[in-house]
Amino acid sequence: MSNVIVPRACTLCPRRCGANRAAGQAGFCGAAGSLKAARAALHFWEEPCISGKEGSGTVFFSGCTLKCCYCQNYPISADCFGKELSVSRLAEIFLDLQRQGANNINLVTPGQWQPWITAALDEARAGGLHLPIVGNTGGYETEESIAAWQGYIDIWLADWKYISPALSQELSAAPDYAAVTEKAIRAMLRQVGRPVYDARGILQRGVIVRHLALPGHTEDSFAVLDKLAALEKEFPGGFIPSLMSQYTPFYRAAEHGLGRRITRYEYRKVIDHAISLGLVHGYMQEKSSAREEYTPSFDLTGL
């Protein structure tokens, strides 16, 4: 049996919206009192040190604490599509992904379900789960939340999307995004330390900081990269930067001036800026990566 303390006035994320989830009330993130997920399967499109050849055992959780107008997973993030799961069923799913040969368990957007997921990890570990656990997040996390994942998450896969408060308000309804995310990423770096790989080059521990370059916003990408360069000086070799070009105009992107993909010229400028800052030890996606095949179908596979 699980011991999940369901929040009565939820403060699991920086929204601190106070939803009474124990009474079934949904918060800003769409999550209410019953754990929900939309897909659990091997996933091959993360960074090579996460996916490897075998795949990453990925569970896509329902709801999201950000409201990105271009979200490629919008059916589950914005509409909270998914299937209700018990904690024990989630523990079985983790073990099943391990049996399928996954390199890790990859928790996509787990923040709003933290008490349920840690209970499931306890149960799965008691049943033999030994894989590294990846916390795959938009970066918008409280320091308290990062602390609550201590001992559960081995690898943080965190976005740093924006610097401009006006831009993060317009695109993700979070004017405090950069300030919150900077603190969160520092807490992640302190928590898990420098990257550690196994003999096959699969990451076992560490932080990957991702930045998705958006069309028409190269100046803000430069500002994010400047922050990453400063962080690299403070934590030398402390994280793996990952620059992504795969932006595709999903959901309500066009309403917010993002109705096209990034051009080669724009992306080249972002890459050149990263190189000029010495951020060359991570990943830089090829421009040709902007394909919808990166988006899995949320058909409740594996649940």
Q: Which residues bind ligand SF4 (CB under 6 A)?
A: 10-13, 15-17, 19, 27-29, 31, 65, 112
- In the complex, the smallest distance separating the C-beta of residue 242 from ligand SF4, rounded to whole angstroms, is 25
Q: How far is the CB of 112 from ligand SF4 (least distance, A)?
A: 4
Tokens of 268: 């080249």
CA angle 107, 165, 178 (to 5 degrees): 40
- Cβ 1 to ligand SF4 shortest distance, Å: 24
Closest-approach residue to ligand SF4 (CB)? 27
Closer Cβ to ligand SF4, 188 or 274, answer by number: 188
- Which CB, 169 or 248, lies closer to ligand SF4? 169
Least CB distance from residue 84 to ligand SF4, whole Å? 16
Phi, psi (deg, nearest 5) at residue 285 = -70, 145
Please list the residues that pair with 59 across neighbouring strands: 40, 107
- Least Å distance between CB 38 and ligand SF4? 17
Using a 10 angstrom Cβ sphere, with 0-12 exposed, 13-18 middle and 19 or more buried, the burial of residue 91 is: buried
Q: Looking at beta carbons only, is 109 or 221 nearer to ligand SF4?
A: 109
Nearer to ligand SF4 (CB atom), residue 184 or residue 262: 184
Q: Return the number of the residue (74 or 222) whose C-beta is nearest ligand SF4.
A: 74
Closest CB to ligand SF4 among residues 140, 222: 140
Strand, helix or coil for residue 209 = strand
Between 28 and 81, name the residue whose CB sits nearer to ligand SF4.
28
Q: How far is the CB of 80 from ligand SF4 (least distance, A)?
A: 10
Alpha-carbon dihedral 28, 77, 93, 48, rounded to 10 degrees: -130
Return the ∠ at Cα 270 (arms to 266 and 275), rounded to 5°: 145
Separation between Cα atoms, residue 161 and residue 139, nearest integer Å: 8
Q: What angle (nearest 5°) sits at the alpha carbon of residue 243, between those of residues 241 and 244?
A: 145
Cβ 94 to ligand SF4 shortest distance, Å: 21
Tokens 């970066």 belong to 139
**Structure token pair of residue 273:** 């800026």
Distance separating alpha carbons of residues 179 and 188, to the nearest angstrom: 15
CA-based end-to-end distance of the chain: 19
